[in-house]
Amino acid sequence: MRPVASGGGEVDYSILCMKEEYLALMKQVTAVEKRNIEQDDRLTNNELRIEKLEQQINDPLTRIQ
């Protein structure tokens, strides 16, 4: 006696994706992460430059030299 399916169970295909779609999404996420890291580096460099300029403004001897 084999079990018999009793109909009904709908499959939600909205959560499935093709391998190509997944790989494209991962490529895009990687690119965004890389861009964010580069922006963080630029912002850090700008913060260091601003800090140095503030020190020069606040220290007249350094500004004169």
CA-CA distances (angstroms) from residue 61 to 27, 32, 49? 51, 44, 18
Burial (CB count <10 Å: 0-12, 13-18, 19+), residue 63: exposed
Using an 8 Å Cβ cutoff, are 55 and 62 in contact? yes
pLDDT in tens, 15-27: 788 889 889 999 9
pTM given for the model: 0.50
* Torsional class of 7: left (φ above 0), alpha (ψ -120 to 50), beta (otherwise): left
DSSP annotation of 28: H
Question: Each residue of 18-63: pLDDT tens digit?
Answer: 889 889 999 999 999 999 988 888 888 887 888 888 887 888 765 5
